[in-house]
Structure 1
Amino acid sequence: MADKALTIEISINEVQPITQAEAHLSGFGSSELVGRGTARCNPGDENIPDIGDELATARALNDLTHQLMHSATMDIEAHTNRRVDHLRI
């Protein structure tokens, strides 16, 4: 079995009070998936940019996870000709 390598590149853009992150996953042939996440600083909270970066990145990776699960579900269904109901993350 051959080893495989996937690459995730995360970009973060901060325009107060909103932080946006994109997680680009490549390595599955020619297709690339992009997960997106956003964080917003509550006006009553202290502005700590690292926390916004962490939240936006986590949400982008979570979005990417859901896209991968959806893709795997579609591939399983196409291969087995059966509906997949209970894949877990």
Structure 2
Amino acid sequence: MTATKTWNTEISIVEVDSEVRAEARLRGKDGGQLVGQGTARCNPADENVPDIGDELAVARAMSDLSHQLIQRAAHDIEMHTARPVERLRV
């Protein structure tokens, strides 16, 4: 059996002064969603390059989202098998 599923990720970036906040919102499974968050700050001694702050904040938000998805999968496995999951690898 072959099935195609689509999950969508929306990323929002907000920059205030020298701080960038990113939010990665994953929508998919049964209409549910997960939200990952990430932040980046420009060191006052560094040159302000907004694209770098965006990249760092988004990468951190996606990493947070990834960890939440692994935790959810581990929980779902435990509920299905009635046994604890020792460790899932990313």
Interval containing the TM-score (normalised by the shorter chain): over 0.9
User: How does 1:47-66 map onto structure 2 within 5 Å?
Assistant: 47-66=48-67
**Structure 2: stretches of 5+ with no match in the other structure:** none
Mapped to 2, the partners of 1:70 and 1:86 lie a distance apart of: 10
* Whole-angstrom distance in 1 between the partners of 2:14 and 2:36: 14
Distance 1:84 1:71 in 2: 11
In structure 2, C-alpha distance between the alignment counterparts of 1:73 and 1:24, rounded to whole Å: 20
Aligned counterparts of 1:27 and 1:37: Cα–Cα separation in 2: 21
Query: Among the aligned pairs, what percent are the same residue?
Result: 58
Query: Given the two structures, how large is their TM-score scaled by the length of structure 2?
Result: 0.96
> Aligned Cα RMSD in Å?
0.6
Q: Which amino acid aligns with 1:11?
A: S
Q: Deviation string for 1:30-85 (max 9, x for gaps)?
A: 21110000000001000000000000000000000000000000000000111101
Q: Which residue of 2 aligns with 1:13?
A: 14
| Gap runs ≥5 in structure 1 | none
Task: Confirm whether residue 44 of structure 1 aligns to residue 45 of structure 2.
Answer: yes
Deviation of residue 86 (structure 1)? 1.6
Counterpart CA distance in 1 for 2:65 and 2:73 is 12
1:33 equivalent in alignment to 2:34: yes
Q: Counterparts of 2:85 and 2:5 in 1: how far apart (Å)? A: 26
